[in-house]
Amino acid sequence: MLAFAWAAIPMMSLMSYCFSSPSTSFTRASMLNITTGAMGFLIVMIMEIPPLSLKKQGESVDSYLIYFPHYALCSGIRNIYFSHEVYSVCNFSITKECFGWDGNYYSWKSPGISRNLTYLFILGLVFHTLLLSIEYMKILWLRMIWFKNRYCKIFNRSPVGHDMTTPFLIEDSDVQLEKILVKKSNPEDYAIYINDLVKRYNGVEAVKGIDLALNSKECFGLLGSNGAGKSSTFKMLTGDTLISSGNAYICNKMIKTSMNKVRVTLN
């Protein structure tokens, strides 16, 4: 199980980078794990049934699926169970082999588990290397953004994600009043409390400092053109994407720190 965790955890972390939505990432990862794990194992087991005469094809499928941690786990558990059964009927002190096996649990040949452990260790090493490389590049990218913004402040240049050619829009009076209301209020006084909510994508602000306070049984909607940040705002409120800065509360539960409790409240 430790070898499986060593390979499977970084693999799932790498898969999360392929999707922007946590729910989509979880669904696709679960489908892949079931397909390559339980379903792949059953297919190989069926192909190894003698009357079907598909043993060679089954070995070929096994040689491909062994690169997936969930299949390596299923195959390893099967080998451990089979070797235990062989030990119960064979006396290896008298014979060197029984049912084509020499009695060594860690032999490379099935039902030994050395092959499974080796592949899991190699896969874990590869996945960890890729994951650390990606995280290191992200740190470098964040440092570049920080230095660029600091450079802009020092030399009065345009910050990253802001176009100086775009004139600043004057906020409506009701928007200004809502901001003042939020600043003077507390999250526990409202069902939904949003304070200076910001979402950035690659240094560009998609959601720019939204302030909103709603009482229970009140309805609201977001109006704006394409790319105004409507979907990003709702994704942050439902936990589908992370908040870049600011705070949001649902029934006095902070989304940043208590997302599980927020989901229970939303349901």
Least confident of 44-48, 76-80, 102-106: 102-106
Write down the mean pLDDT value for the chain.
Answer: 81
Residue 28 phi/psi, 5-degree rounding, is -65, -40
Tell me if residue 201 falls in helix, strand or coil. strand
Domains of the chain: 1-136 (no CATH), 185-216+228-258 (3.40.50.300)
Q: State pLDDT tens for residues 97-142.
A: 666 666 677 778 777 788 999 999 999 999 999 888 887 877 776 6
Q: State pLDDT tens for residues 163-221.
A: 444 445 566 778 888 888 888 888 888 999 999 999 888 777 888 888 999 998 888 88
pLDDT of res. 42 = 93
CA-closest candidate to residue 59, choices 45, 77, 72, 70: 45
